[in-house]
């Protein structure tokens, strides 16, 4: 199952917040909104945009708190250990909710069992980019070149187990090509080496790569989202180039500690969906390179379960270990 991106939810979403708040929960103190990464990234920016609006509707400040470390595990565990009363929420991500459990042997918590879904928040596509030295102008030409040169091409990533690594492994498996992985300490140096030709390709997040693409430093051959992105309307999707199994997005979702009462989850989810339905909020997220995505808690739970299986299979088949 995949959750479709909803840019205009209309009046229905705007009307659900008030009934939800009337069902028995209104916060009486500020809410802590944990971001398990450093300030400044897309996850942090989205959380701060949503926190501002959610605080206005809930009548209490929603305060973003950055707790980075261990691939996001430190911040997630902090929330798991927090009271399940609505006073703490977290911006979970593809990695922290569905990938890390397959990479880290002793996380100290189970993100599926120890967290309760509130709702989806955002998604970002990845884009297949190649350096100028790669003799391919289209995705078809690139695939043919990879298959004619097994084991000779390499791709860069932000590190073993990162989304840029995992999505590239998904591409490798779907395309049935032999390529080498070169992990870096972050997306920026991997992108720079793609530009320089030290690695031949990368599946970077679109917000990170768009400047180099627009500047002509790298060529964009395909995107990984369910449809073409407005930022690169002429670039086909993985499905369009014949690789539907390589479709993937990095995403973020709001979670609460397991055991948080149903009325609290309902109220938080309603306010979150109302915020994501606002065109002004959508514009602010788009400026950060993210698409607003909305869901019910039940839809999010199904998505997490599906992606836990997907990424677990990728980790096993590619024999991925963390640095």
226-253 residue pLDDT tens = 999 988 999 999 999 999 999 999 999 9
DSSP designation for 70? G
Q: What is the pLDDT of residue 113?
A: 96
287-319 residue pLDDT tens = 887 899 999 999 999 999 999 999 999 999 888
Find out whether 225 and 234 touch, Cβ atoms under 8 Å.
no
Question: For residue 2, is pLDDT > 90?
Answer: no
Q: Report the 10 Å Cβ neighbour count for 160.
A: 15
- State the DSSP H helix or E strand holding residue 128, giving kind and residue range, or none if neither: strand 115-131
Please state the pTM of the whole predicted model: 0.82
Q: What is the pLDDT of residue 241?
A: 98
86-104 mean pLDDT: 95
State in Å, rounded, how far the first CA of the chain is from the last one. 31
pLDDT band at 254 (very low <50, low <70, confident <90, very high): very high
Question: For residue 85, is pLDDT > 70?
Answer: yes
Per residue, the 3-state secondary structure of 231-248, as one string, reads: CCCCCCECCCCCCHHHCC
* Inter-CA distances, 293 with 121, 177, 274, Å: 5, 32, 11
22-69 residue pLDDT tens = 456 899 999 999 999 888 878 998 999 999 999 999 999 999 999 988
Task: Collapse the DSSP code of 161 into the 3-class scheme (helix H, G, I; strand E, B; otherwise coil) and give the result.
Answer: coil
Q: What is the pLDDT of residue 10?
A: 34
Query: Hey, what long-range contacts does 190-199 have (CB within 8 A, 24 or more apart)?
Result: 190/156, 190/157, 190/158, 190/164, 191/156, 191/218, 193/156, 194/129, 194/130, 194/131, 194/156, 194/218, 195/131, 196/131, 197/131, 197/132, 197/133, 198/156, 199/131, 199/154, 199/155, 199/156
265-272 mean pLDDT: 97
Lowest-confidence region among 10-24, 102-116, 191-205, 214-228: 10-24
70-77 mean pLDDT: 92
pLDDT band at 75 (very low <50, low <70, confident <90, very high): very high
Separation between Cα atoms, residue 138 and residue 146, nearest integer Å: 12
pLDDT band at 6 (very low <50, low <70, confident <90, very high): very low
Fold of the 10-123+249-318 domain: D-Maltodextrin-Binding Protein; domain 2 (3.40.190)
pLDDT band at 185 (very low <50, low <70, confident <90, very high): confident
Find out whether 168 and 251 touch, Cβ atoms under 8 Å.
no
Task: Collapse the DSSP code of 212 into the 3-class scheme (helix H, G, I; strand E, B; otherwise coil) and give the result.
Answer: helix
Question: For residue 225, is pLDDT > 90?
Answer: yes
Question: For residue 18, is pLDDT > 80?
Answer: no
Q: What is the pLDDT of residue 17?
A: 40
- Comparing CA positions, the residue from 246, 237, 250, 234 lying closest to residue 290 is 250
What share of the chain in percent tops pLDDT 70?
92
73-88 mean pLDDT: 96
Residue 250: beta bridge partners? 124
Task: Collapse the DSSP code of 72 into the 3-class scheme (helix H, G, I; strand E, B; otherwise coil) and give the result.
Answer: helix
- Comparing CA positions, the residue from 174, 157, 175 lying closest to residue 166 is 157
* Inter-CA distances, 234 with 35, 126, 153, 203, Å: 34, 15, 25, 17
User: Per CATH, the architecture of 125-246 is what?
Assistant: 3-Layer(aba) Sandwich (3.40)
Give the total residue count for the chain.
323
- Confirm whether 10-123+249-318 and 125-246 share one CATH topology: yes
Query: HSE of 147 in the Cβ direction (CA atoms, 13 Å)?
Result: 10
Question: For residue 16, is pLDDT > 50?
Answer: no
Separation between Cα atoms, residue 251 and residue 320, nearest integer Å: 21
* Inter-CA distances, 6 with 13, 98, 176, 295, Å: 11, 22, 33, 9
Higher pLDDT, 161 or 296: 296
DSSP designation for 125? E
- Comparing CA positions, the residue from 74, 115, 105 lying closest to residue 255 is 115
| Parallel/antiparallel/unpaired status of strands 31-35 and 62-66 | parallel
Domain limits, the chain: 10-123+249-318, 125-246
Pinpoint the alpha helices (H) of 32-138: 42-58, 73-80, 94, 100-103
Question: For residue 112, is pLDDT > 50?
Answer: yes
Q: What is the pLDDT of residue 318?
A: 87
117-127 mean pLDDT: 96
């Amino acid at each position: 199952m995949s959750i479709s991106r909803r840019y205009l939810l209309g009046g229905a979403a705007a009307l659900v917040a008030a009934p939800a708040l009337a069902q028995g929960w209104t916060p009486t103190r500020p809410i802590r909104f944990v971001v398990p990464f450093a300030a400044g990234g897309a996850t942090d920016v989205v959380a701060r945009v949503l926190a501002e609006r959610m605080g206005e509707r809930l009548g209490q400040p929603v305060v973003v708190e950055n707790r980075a470390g261990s691939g996001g595990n430190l911040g997630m565990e902090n929330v798991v250990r927090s009271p399940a009363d609505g006073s703490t929420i977290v911006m979970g991500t593809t990695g922290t909710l569905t990938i890390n459990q397959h990479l880290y042997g002793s996380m100290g918590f189970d993100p599926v069992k120890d967290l309760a879904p509130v709702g989806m928040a955002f998604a970002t596509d990845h884009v297949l980019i190649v350096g100028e030295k790669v003799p391919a102008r289209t995705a078809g030409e690139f695939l043919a070149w990879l298959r004619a040169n097994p084991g000779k091409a390499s791709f860069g990533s932000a590190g073993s187990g990162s989304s840029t690594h995992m999505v590239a492994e998904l591409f490798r498996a779907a395309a049935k090509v032999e390529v080498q992985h070169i992990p870096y300490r972050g997306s920026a140096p991997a992108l720079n080496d793609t530009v320089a030709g030290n690695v031949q390709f990368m599946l970077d997040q679109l917000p990170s790569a768009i400047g180099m693409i627009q500047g002509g430093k790298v060529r964009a051959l395909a995107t990984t989202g369910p449809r073409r992105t407005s930022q690169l309307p002429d670039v086909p999707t993985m499905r369009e180039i014949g690789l539907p199994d390589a479709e993937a997005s990095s995403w973020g979702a709001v979670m609460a500690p397991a055991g948080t009462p149903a009325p609290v989850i309902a109220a938080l989810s309603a306010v979150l969906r109302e915020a994501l339905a606002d065109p002004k909020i959508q514009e602010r997220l788009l400026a950060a390179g993210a698409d607003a995505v909305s869901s019910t808690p039940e839809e999010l739970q199904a998505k997490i379960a599906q992606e836990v299986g997907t990424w677990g299979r990728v980790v096993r088949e590619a024999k991925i270990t963390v640095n």
